[in-house]
Amino acid sequence: MNVAHPLLEVYPRLYQHYGPQGWWPGEGPLDVVIGAILTQAAAWRNVELALRNLKAANCWSLEAIRQLPPDDLAAIIRPSGYFNAKARKLQAFANHVHHHHGGDLAAFLNQDAGALREELLSIHGIGPETADDIVLYAAGQPSFVIDAYTRRILGRLGLAPANPKAGYAEYQSLFHRSLPPDAGLFNEYHALLDRHAKERCGKTPRCAGCCLREVCSTGQRSDALTLQD
């Protein structure tokens, strides 16, 4: 790979160390959409419980979600946390697809990435991260997902935007400017960053033996302090 930006050097190091991640951890676009909404402020293991509950309750379609009384839907997805708010979000999504796309999720997702993302952001409860999860993992279109793990790693690498108040769009722009617009690459890169944050680059980084240490400003400072000692 021709290294034109440090982000292009980070990716092969992560991939060589961790291997392919096989994301999204679901089965098909509907699974991704529901999971993306339920995983807001929730651990994935709790989301999986809620997904199993939905399937066991025969509530595994947008139409079923749309027609279910809100309190009943909230009770089914209770393991995901914030279940009343998430029930409203799921039903807002289901109602939107019903009214604007005849209930056809495939037709909704089969749009240009920019138009799809803009429409997603118009739906109650869908913010930038959730929208990009759906664009990337359900529609298979290149829109890089930014989460807290990504922000943390970029900051430690010394690659975060210069503006200390940078928001979601500025972080995403770093990837969109620096990487080819390839959904497979975006999928794998985001998954690898999350894996790295969980296993190595936690709230307290474990720099010894890190696969990014040679290209990481935090790791290099750690090396310098070790030499001084």
Q: Taking CA 185 as the corner, what is the angle to CA 179 and CA 188, rounded to the nearest 5 degrees? A: 130
- For a pLDDT cut of 90, what percent of the chain falls above it? 91
Fold of 1-229: Endonuclease III; domain 1 (1.10.340)
Q: Where are the domains of the chain?
A: 1-229
Residue 27 has what pLDDT?
Answer: 80
Q: What is this structure's pTM?
A: 0.93
| Backbone phi and psi for residue 96, each to the nearest 5 degrees, phi listed first | -65, -50
Closest CA to 39 of 121, 122, 129, 144: 129
The 10 Å Cβ neighbour count of residue 229 is 5
Looking at the predicted structure, is the pLDDT value of residue 95 above 60?
yes
- Rounded Cα–Cα distance for residues 74 and 179 (Å): 40
DSSP string, 40-78: TTS-HHHHHHHHHHHHHTT--SHHHHHHS-HHHHHHHTG
Residues 6+ apart with CB under 8 A from 173: none
Residue 70 scores a pLDDT above 60: yes
Provide mean pLDDT across the span 167-192: 97
